[in-house]
């Protein structure tokens, strides 16, 4: 079992100084003390350890991911995607070549929202990463732009956490050669930095990249027009070290809101009190990575998903009040949507939200956002 952190403050609410005057209005899951939260995090760790030690033919198997053939494609020796929902590179199956379709990335589905959680690219997986992005950015409606969220500095304490895998400066360009000729697409990719700006209110750098199929002149280019160029929005948030929460939660919140403005997400079109009607709308997956693709990545996905859900109720605080206080027919006062969301994440990629401080910061930020909503329309929560 986990050892309780020495600096934990016992029997205090998630955000003690903020919650006192809103105790009757906030949902129960945000009024838990730190001991409660530690017990829940400990339970997540226990359940995951039990799953990972199960026989290899279970849904939590990662035999292929950790095989000798794919070892050089993993940044860490203990962080693998599950075989059942790993992202596969677009290769043509050929038993003779035994070419691997492996990349350390997982498909994550949270009901109405799709994500791809990946490790930070290595120098030998840069091309694979962009091939994955291109393959998962194709849609019938080419107006959808892909968004990549990078949540790690390149170096931390002189240790590489992620290689520089994109052209950082405006107008710079790189050519991405294929790992093998056995890929589904008969072209290489060019990546060009169109624009670059620093977003001060969030502390991140936004680069707009153009990912273009490239067919050398000596090859048949008849199919070139069949594969369009793709606009990729790359958000580089370097103010977050491994095994920790961000130094400024406001920056993280602004990054999430900025992501919402760029990324096409499914919306809750009808604001009903109990269960929102989810309007079916295509959206591309959101690409998230840190270094291992689990701790900071899982924290961001949890917050992005839950804050997007709350965002749909911005004009209907009566519905929001019922939703947040767990008064729908399908919930009860013991429901903790943060805990349940992380459980879903860990069933799709191990060690998501890896550190207790990351676990706590999700509660802190969600609590802060809800209090601000209550302050804006207090009469609707009385």
Cβ atoms within 10 A of the Cβ of 220, count? 8
Residue 154: give its domain's CATH number.
3.90.190.10
Residue 80 backbone dihedrals phi, psi, to 5 degrees: -130, 150
Number of structural domains, the chain? 1
- Res 374: pLDDT: 80
pTM over 0.85: yes
Q: Over the chain, what HEC string results?
A: CCCCCCCCCCCCECCHHHHHHHCCCCCHHHCCEHHHHHHHHHHHHHHHHHHHCCCCCCCCCCCCCCCHHHHHHCCCCCCCCCHHHEEECCECCCCCCCCCCEEEEEEEEECCEEEEEECCCCCCCHHHHHHHHHHCCCCCCCCCCEEEEECCCCEECCEECCCCCCCCCCCCEEEECCCCCCECCCCEEEEEEEEEEEECCCCEEEEEEEEEEECCCCCCCCCHHHCCCEEEEEEECCCCCCCCCCCCHHHHHHHHHHHHHHCCCCCEEECCCCCCEECCCCCCCEEEECCCCCHHHHHHHHHHHHHHHHHCCCCCHHHHHHHHCCCCCCCCCCCCHHHHHHHHHHCCCCCCCCCHHHHHHHHHHHHHHHHHHHHHCHHHHC
Whether 2 is in a domain gets the answer no
- Which residue, chain included where needed, has tokens 């892909």? 146
- At 191, list the tokens: 């990546």
Whether 184 is in a domain gets the answer yes
- At 343, list the tokens: 């459980």
Residue 145, domain extent: 22-381
Whether 358 is in a domain gets the answer yes
Whether 7 is in a domain gets the answer no
- Res 328: pLDDT: 42
| CB neighbour burial string for 273-283, b if at least 16 within 10 angstroms, e if fewer | eeebeeeeeeb
- Res 264: pLDDT: 58
CA distance 87 to 163: 20
Whether 5 is in a domain gets the answer no
Nearest to 309 by CA among 271, 335, 344, 253: 271
- Res 19: pLDDT: 61
pLDDT tens-digit profile, the chain (382 residues): 455 544 444 445 555 555 667 777 788 888 899 999 999 999 999 999 999 887 677 889 998 888 888 999 999 999 999 999 999 998 876 665 566 899 999 999 998 789 999 999 999 999 999 999 999 987 655 556 899 999 999 999 899 999 999 999 999 999 998 776 667 777 889 999 999 999 999 999 999 999 998 876 655 554 555 678 999 999 999 989 877 788 889 999 999 999 998 875 444 333 332 323 333 444 689 999 999 999 999 999 999 999 987 776 554 554 555 555 554 434 455 689 999 999 999 999 999 999 999 999 999 999 998 888 888 776 656 6
Whether 9 is in a domain gets the answer no
Residue-wise pLDDT tens digits, 194-248: 999 999 999 999 999 999 988 766 555 545 556 789 999 999 999 898 777 888 8
- Res 380: pLDDT: 58
C-alpha to C-alpha distances, 62 to 6, 20, 68, 279, 285, nearest whole angstrom: 34, 46, 12, 35, 23
- Res 277: pLDDT: 30
Whether 310 is in a domain gets the answer yes
- Res 8: pLDDT: 43
- Res 112: pLDDT: 77
The pairing of strands 286-289 and 113-118 is parallel
Whether 242 is in a domain gets the answer yes
């Amino acid at each position: 079992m986990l050892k309780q952190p020495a600096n934990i403050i016992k029997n205090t609410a998630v955000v003690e100084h903020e919650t006192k005057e809103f105790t009757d209005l906030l949902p129960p899951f945000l009024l838990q003390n730190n001991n409660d939260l530690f017990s829940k995090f400990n339970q997540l760790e226990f359940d995951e350890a039990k799953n990972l030690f199960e026989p290899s033919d279970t849904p939590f198997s990662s035999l292929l991911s950790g095989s000798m053939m794919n070892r050089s494609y993993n940044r860490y020796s203990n962080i693998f995607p599950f075989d059942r929902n790993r992202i596969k590179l677009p290769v043509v199956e050929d038993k003779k070549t035994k070419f691997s379709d492996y990349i350390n990335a997982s498909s994550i589905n949270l009901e109405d929202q799709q994500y791809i959680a990946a490790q930070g690219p290595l120098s030998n997986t840069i091309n694979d990463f962009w091939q994955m992005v291109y393959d998962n950015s194709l849609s019938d409606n080419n107006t959808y732009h892909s968004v990549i969220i990078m949540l790690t500095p390149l170096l931390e304490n002189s240790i590489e956490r992620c290689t520089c895998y994109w052209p950082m400066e405006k107008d710079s360009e790189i050519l991405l050669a294929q790992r093998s000729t056995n890929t589904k697409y008969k072209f290489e990719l060019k990546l060009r930095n169109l624009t670059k700006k620093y977003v001060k209110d969030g502390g991140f750098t936004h680069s707009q990249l153009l990912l273009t199929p490239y067919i050398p002149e000596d090859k048949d280019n008849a199919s070139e027009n069949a594969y369009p160029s793709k606009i990729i929005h790359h958000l580089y948030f370097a103010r977050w070290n491994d095994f920790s929460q961000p130094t400024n939660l406001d920056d993280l919140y602004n990054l999430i809101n900025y992501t919402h403005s760029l990324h096409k997400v499914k919306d809750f079109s009808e604001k009903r009190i109990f269960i929102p009607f989810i309007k079916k709308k295509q959206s591309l997956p959101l690409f998230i990575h840190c270094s291992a693709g689990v701790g900071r990545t899982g924290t961001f996905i949890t917050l992005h998903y839950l804050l997007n859900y709350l965002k749909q109720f911005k004009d209907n605080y009566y519905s929001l009040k019922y939703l947040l206080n767990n008064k729908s027919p399908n919930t009860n006062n013991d429901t903790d949507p943060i805990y349940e969301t992380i459980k879903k994440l860990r069933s799709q990629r191990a060690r998501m939200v890896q550190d207790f401080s990351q676990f706590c910061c999700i509660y802190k930020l969600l609590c802060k956002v809800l209090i601000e909503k209550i302050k804006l329309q207090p009469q609707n929560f009385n």
